[in-house]
Amino acid sequence: MRTAKAAKPAKKPAAPATKTVDSPEERLRSLIHRHLVSTLARHEGSASSHDWWVATALAVRDTIHERMIATQAVHNDQNARRIYYFSLEYLMGRLFGNNLLATGMLDCARSALESLGQDFEKIREAEVDMGLGNGGLGRLAACFLDSLATLDYPALGYGIYYEFGLFRQQFVNGNQVEHPDNWMRFGNPWEVVRPEYAQVVRFFGRVENVFDDRGNYRPRWVDTKTILGVPHDIPTAGYGTKTVNLLRLWASKSTEDFDLAAFNRGGYFEAVREQTSGETVSKVLYPNDKTENGKELRLMQQYFFVACSLRDIIRRHLRNPANSWANFADQVAVQLNDTHPAIAVVELTRILVDEEDMSFEAAWEIVGRTFAYTNHTLLPEALEKWSVGLFEKVLPRHLQLIYEINRRLLDAVEVKWPGDNDKKRVCSVIEENGGKQVRMANLAVAGSHTVNGVAALHTALLKQDLFPEFDALYPGKFQNKTNGITPRRWLLKCNPRLSDLITQRLGHENWVRDLDLLRGLEKSADDHAFQKEFMAVKRANKVELAAIIKAECGIEVSPDALFDVQIKRLHEYKRQHLNLLHILALYRRLLQNPGLDIVPRVFVFGAKAAPGYDLAKNIIRAINVIGARINGDSRIGGKLKVAFLPNYRVSLAEKIIPAADLSEQISTAGKEASGTGNMKLSLNGALTIGTLDGANVEIGEEVGGDNIFIFGLTVDEVAALWAKGYNPWDKYNADEELRAIIDWLGSEYFTPGEPGAFGALHHSLMGGGDPYLLLADFRSYSDAQARVDAAYRNPKHWAKLAILNTARMGKFSSDRTIREYAEQIWKIKPVAVR
């Protein structure tokens, strides 16, 4: 039961002499055909790729739905303790391939469609990514859903059904231009709408201070505005198991379809306007990664989905006669993905106190046994705060309860540190300097039984630097759960060539559900024949990526060059501009010495900048403009190419990652909480050049120090440098090459007639004080790149390192991560579905 279901069914047995029943392929073919005709009302002759995709998705969905119903029935029958994952973002990407693999229907669907005269790959491409997230945090949630189902854990994901996901990115003259991502314009075959489980959510209004006949304070939240939350369920299918959990996403609607009075006055548009305001709440994902922005609508989004989800959990819990409030926390575990859903702590308190008539103490006890919180970042600009004024306006009763929660928290601080007002100031949920603000992280810590960081280093810094007082106040509350990625999407699906090679070499496919089994490849790392096959797979993947680069960017690249890849959100702390400084250095060395013997490289970038993040956009422009100059410079003999692929997203990541030789993980030490892109790339045989930051530290421990290119200041060295005083001009003055490339960047060399085009970037490095220490790390980075160059010249050596990277990535399966959460935080057990 626990062995992996084959990624593809075993080779078809020879056809029996007399066929009495249809083959699975024939059955699927007629099912696809039936959906095309009866569901989509399409004639075969006029059906588009999109139509074929929808028809096939619906055919696969039939099986998925049967499993989903069976799964829910088993979970309900057993009254299983469940984990409810609360996340404002889910970066799911495409679901087609995942669902085909989960149902074992991939090969069958391919041949069915081909026998219908269709191009399978083209049909796959018709699916628009479900891009309801910004980056790593949302993608982590998606990987977790995959592992939860694969490991048979009873789980439900809750979030928002954004009408518009993360913007589509285009480059115009090297500049990022954003377009709305109207992803559900043509419908979504994976969704099941459940209007019968809609929830009413209240906002605004005021609190009436009422006392009951025994003198107890019985506040009433009145004069509220209401909107409706309608659940849209997306099945999440496990691999090699029948478990199908669900992702329940809430779409907001107006409570009244029409204001009839306005309608009768002939005011049609006035009547519909009320409706628009209801629907606005789930309209669009905020496109900021790691920057909170204090906007009213964002607070409304957070409360909207949390309120709907808690109501839904309570409804599901209490509908079983065996359940009551007494066993609520025994049955329900809620994980808060960052502070975005932290208002849940207050909302559950409010429901229990105001609606269920519990004492605050009793309510708070249930709350504290229900929630756990994952911290994703130490960056101060990412720690969510809401002005007290905004809270008062949008959620006045919740603000009262926050003050009550805080009063008790500060009492506990007083017991621990009598008379110490500094301790109270840092622990308080209310920040008092300047305008008063509600600190959501402090609220989440106070209301959760467990708080976790996402990599060993990050958790250590969380305890040491961000929350040392809470760590002392609540010993044992903080834990580490190093992030992971699902091997189903990030190897099996995205890299079929490598998957086949691994399966062939290991003699089984069990690695798909037990990634530690990749260790079995270690003994082949020195085997020349295997090295050849491994690198042939890499080359074939590079040929495919080269075609995509040609089609998307119009740039010719050689698959024999080293593919040097940096794909992630554009952020100063991730230091795409450090990569750019190295590109400039190589370019300059070549111009000064055209015969210089360097390994030809293709620099591949993929990154979206938050629309309001001007410096990030300036970095994008600089990479594009300088890249174009380099790509067109015949003097350097094609040794350097720069390809910035537009619109980085999950489906594009799946094409880039299998083709990467080198993985750039070069954040300033202490800034990247974990990273997961680093894991995806290493799993696919890319070597890492990186700082000792986030999960890079643990990747280095797993693959071994000889198999990774580590450079740069450590966290302690960064702290020491700031303590001593850092001046980028000292680095500039001491390094002739660095000085030349910084001056080059500041000149109009790359933008004739437009001096200062990269002024924002130049200023951040020099006048702005270089907050991310690029100049401090440049020489160390450049030296590490020289080691990469030397290693790549020896194909056998490189192949060995690449194989060892793949072989030693077992730890970074999200299955391992989820098992740790399940056993150490959620205390849930797998439930088998037959």
Binding positions for ligand PLP, rule: CB under 6 A: 91, 135-136, 139, 568-569, 649-650, 653, 675-677, 680
Radius of gyration of the chain (CA): 28
Residue with smaller CB distance to ligand PLP, 253 or 569: 569
Rounded distance, CA 406 to CA 460, Å?
26
Residue entry with tokens 């489906």:
651
User: Is 569 among the residues known to form the active site?
Assistant: yes
- Cβ-proximal residue to ligand PLP, closest one: 677
Tell how far CA 264 is from the center of its chain: 48
Which residue, among 423, 429, 361, 373, has the nearest Cα to 398 in the 3D structure?
A: 429
Of residues 574, 575, 621, 639, which has the active-site annotation? 574
Residue with smaller CB distance to ligand PLP, 430 or 607: 607
End-to-end CA distance of the chain: 10
Of residues 680, 731, 762, 808, which has the active-site annotation? 680
Distance set, CA 68 to CA 9, 59, 62 (Å) = 22, 15, 10
Q: Least distance from C-beta 159 to ligand PLP, angstroms? A: 17
Residue with smaller CB distance to ligand PLP, 174 or 690: 690
User: Is 680 among the residues known to form the active site?
Assistant: yes
Residue with smaller CB distance to ligand PLP, 424 or 575: 575
Q: Least distance from C-beta 136 to ligand PLP, angstroms? A: 4
User: Is 762 among the residues known to form the active site?
Assistant: no
Is-contact 572 768, C-beta < 8 A? Answer: no
User: Is 3 among the residues known to form the active site?
Assistant: no
507's CB contacts (< 8 A; 6+ apart) are none
Q: Least distance from C-beta 574 to ligand PLP, angstroms? A: 7
Residue with smaller CB distance to ligand PLP, 542 or 680: 680
H-type helices in 116-245, by residue range? 120-124, 136-150
Exposed/middle/buried for 305, CB within 10 Å: 0-12, 13-18, 19+?
A: buried
User: Is 819 among the residues known to form the active site?
Assistant: no
Rounded distance, CA 59 to CA 727, Å?
63
Residue with smaller CB distance to ligand PLP, 309 or 576: 576
Rounded distance, CA 703 to CA 800, Å?
12
Is-contact 568 135, C-beta < 8 A? Answer: yes
Q: Least distance from C-beta 569 to ligand PLP, angstroms? A: 6
Residue 720's SS3 state is helix
Distance set, CA 250 to CA 79, 183, 217, 289, 304 (Å) = 24, 16, 34, 21, 8
Residue with smaller CB distance to ligand PLP, 487 or 675: 675
Of residues 538, 542, 568, 649, which has the active-site annotation? 568
Residue entry with tokens 């130049």:
762
Of residues 676, 691, 806, 817, which has the active-site annotation? 676
User: Letter for the amino acid at 171?
Assistant: F
Residue with smaller CB distance to ligand PLP, 586 or 681: 681
Q: Least distance from C-beta 128 to ligand PLP, angstroms? A: 14
What is the torsional sign of CA 174, 178, 183, 186? negative
Q: Least distance from C-beta 507 to ligand PLP, angstroms? A: 30
Of residues 168, 248, 376, 649, which has the active-site annotation? 376
User: Is 655 among the residues known to form the active site?
Assistant: no
Is-contact 455 482, C-beta < 8 A? Answer: yes
Of residues 29, 311, 350, 569, which has the active-site annotation? 569
Q: Least distance from C-beta 137 to ligand PLP, angstroms? A: 8
Rounded distance, CA 214 to CA 583, Å?
75
**Residues labelled as active-site residues:** 376, 568-569, 574, 676, 680
